[in-house]
Amino acid sequence: MRFGREGSIFYAQWKGPEAEDFGMLGLAVRFVINVGALWFAQLIIRGFDIDSLAALIVGAAIFGTVNAFLKPIVAMLSCALTCATLGLFALIINTLMLALTAWIAGLFDLAFQVDGFWAAFLGALVISLTSTILSTWADRSILRPARRNVLDDW
């Protein structure tokens, strides 16, 4: 989302992803953000445990893959339900993606465990908030440091 001003008119404009989002740097930054968000969530949520660095890194790769390929399909199929609940169903989708990640990690005997719905729900909520904060910071200071925000001029 980009905000601006022309004369006395304020506007908001949505812009799609930039080219640097899809390069190796963008991919590496998003992966590190996922690792950090998963680590922070397992640190503060009881019932969400990742017992080794290898499980954290492979779990982040699984989580990123699940979110990249399955989450858009599930979100599209449940669009009406998400709108009817004013977006709250998106939290349930995130919960399902985290639970699916834990299940897939269990198939590979990784120490990546989510014990129940509430641990998955709270873990998904913490991961979403943490990754949003870290992505905003990374976008401004790593991926696009030369770009200035229009609101900084006011």
Q: Delimit the domains of the chain by residue range.
A: 20-146
The rounded distance, in Å, linking the Cα atoms of 56 and 103 is 14
Whether 63 contacts 34, CB under 8 Å: yes
**Strands in the chain per DSSP E:** 2-6, 9-13, 48-50, 112-114
Provide the residue-wise pLDDT of the chain in tens; the chain has 154 residues: 666 777 777 777 666 666 655 677 878 888 999 999 999 999 999 999 999 999 999 999 999 999 989 998 999 999 999 999 998 999 999 999 999 999 999 999 999 999 999 999 999 999 999 999 998 888 777 766 665 555 555 4
Residue whose entry in the numeric block shows the structure tokens 């190796």 = 24
* pTM of this structure: 0.78
